[in-house]
Amino acid sequence: MIEKVLTQKSEFKCFSDIDRLYNESFTLQDQPKSGRWKNIAGFVTNISNNIQGLPRFLEKLEDSIGLRFSPPQLFAKDRFSWLRDEEMGRQALAGVNPLQIELVKSFPLMSNLDSEKYGPEESAIKAEHFNHQLGGLSVQQAIEQNRLFVVDYNDAFMPYINKINAQKDRKMYASRTLYFLKDSGTITPVAIELSLPPSSPNFQGSKRVFTPGQDATTHWLWTLAKAHAASNDAGFHQLVNHWLRSHAVVEPYIIATHRRLSVLHPISKLLLPHCRYTLEINALARQLLINAAGVVETCFTTGPHSMEVSSYAYKALWRFDMENLPADLLRRGMATKDPNDPDKLKLVLEDYPYAADGMLIWSAIQEWVTEYVSLYYTDPDSLSNDKELHNWWDEIRHKGHADKSDEPWWPELISKENLIFILSSIIWVTSAHHAAVNFGQYAYGGYAPNHPCVTRRLIPEQDMDSNEYRELLQNPQKFFLSMISNKFQATYAISVMDALSTHAADEEYLGQRVQVNWTADPKAIACANKFAQRVKQVERIIDQRNADAKLKNRNGAGVVPYELLRPTSGPGVTGRGIPNSVSI
């Protein structure tokens, strides 16, 4: 039975077919496994062989008995929540990719792309599309009150749409999703723009705007539009915020730490827990995840153009000084400087779980790094005379990120404050940033309709002469399922998400050290113990927030609590825990 799922382009006929992945066991015994299914086994086997204790999926796969996926958190909490507009808004703040939402500061929304190649710079979303959803406010009033937000993938994907759509069974738009902050403190999507670039003299591109449905047909059109927007989000999450920003770019930090710093150097001792297993897992990813015809090319709409998207994002978007949480929040307009304390931030949205919990973690990291660094760099000369440290930073900047080495935004290693900033940023990315975008993959992506990796059809125009539109009217559920991942793609993707969301039995979490005798300096040990206690305090605060009924983005009937930045976890797929390093 499962062999048919994995080797044929069979479709889910109804949503119950998807539910059966979590309710029924599939037997692989006495069946030859397909080549791609072997890739999953190989990937997980390699992880298990290289990193002790990972993942539980291997036992299911290799024993070939009773393969059944555990219900993802979202599905287990409320199997219908993915259909609600408020849940889409909640996930923009507390899901697996809460790093993209931005405050709208001006309207209309604009593109920075060449209009001759990609169509008009101005978004097609007009005030009349959503004005009636603003609770009596005008668009300008909503902007002035910080109540309009956007998740904008127009410029990220538009240059690749024609190449992607030329593939068989791949169809994609570049999306923009506009959100409004309601009086309840939650945000809801009020308009989605799906755009195609010009592709021929006979097609000069299109910009279609969808709004919440008012009848059965427009409701389904809105649901299809949300799926395309969610698929854009799934692709950007995996290719940029996950692979690029927390796996690929940290390799120079790790290599330079091993090459340029003695194991006795205090900064080496500080950073080594944040280097654990990363090069190994990245090597495996290049073999089986991001390789040609690997998991990403098979299971994501971007297909063979996936690494082009990552490369473009690195060139156009990545900069070291923006990879820490405060700078990222300020850049996106999601926080402002606190007028009463310039060293602190004030969140634009109080109930923004990723940002609220993240700032607790960032502050704890920064405090720990400050105290530790201050033990060894007591005056300007102690820093300026540290040749090892300067060689380390020089290698990161000029060899590890050579193509960006001349950018003016690199912090100069000329003060203790800059060193603290550099180290805190590295530790944040390798620990909390990665945890936030990795360990919720199965919770939110494990149920394909919620965060589909693949879209295979465009949305038909409302034209009765269109066979596709008539197909939609006749059976909208079937059309929806034919638009997202088929059985093979869904099973393949969620198998890997399950593995990648798994904590090892020997995981080392933020504030912990596996190597007890990592230093002989009692002052450093005291600082580390203080950091461990601070992390435990943060964990208690997060638990209290998740129990607060006023915080609707993390509490309520069927709502998944936000625990991705809760520092500790047990082994397995838990949806919580911050490992010290990018270890999976």
Tell me whether residue 274 is one of the annotated catalytic residues.
Answer: no
Give me the catalytic one of 434, 450, 555, 578.
Answer: 434
Q: Is the dihedral of CA 531, 536, 537, 543 positive or negative?
A: positive
Tell me whether residue 47 is one of the annotated catalytic residues.
Answer: no
Give me the catalytic one of 40, 125, 192, 584.
Answer: 584
Q: Of 532, 539, 581, whose CA–CA distance to 564 is shortest? A: 539
Burial of 15 (0-12, 13-18, 19+ CB in 10 A): middle
Burial of 409 (0-12, 13-18, 19+ CB in 10 A): exposed
Tell me whether residue 23 is one of the annotated catalytic residues.
Answer: no
Tell me whether residue 584 is one of the annotated catalytic residues.
Answer: yes
Pairing of strands 335-338, 341-347: antiparallel
Cβ density class 491-515: b for 16+ within 10 Å, e for less: bbbbbbbbbbbbbbeebbbbbbbee
The answer to whether the beta carbons of residues 222 and 209 sit under 8 Å apart is: no
- SS3 letters across 341-391: EEEEEEECCCCCHHHHHHHHHHHHHHHHHHHHHHHHCCCHHHHHCCHHHHH
Give me the catalytic one of 228, 237, 247, 433.
Answer: 247
DSSP for 475-544, please give it: -HHHHHHHHS--HHHHHHHHHHHHHHTEEPTT--BTT--S-TTS---HHHHHHHHHHHHHHHHHHHHHHH
Max intra-chain CA distance, the chain: 79
Question: Helices (DSSP H) in 8-153: which residue ranges?
Answer: 15-23, 35-50, 57-63, 73-77, 85-94, 115-118, 127-130, 139-144
Give me the catalytic one of 39, 97, 438, 553.
Answer: 438
Long-range contacts of 523-531 (CB under 8 A, 24+ apart): 523/375, 524/266, 524/269, 524/372, 524/375, 527/368, 527/371, 527/372, 527/375, 528/368, 528/372, 530/368, 530/371, 531/364, 531/367, 531/368
The residues carrying an active-site annotation are 242, 247, 434, 438, 584
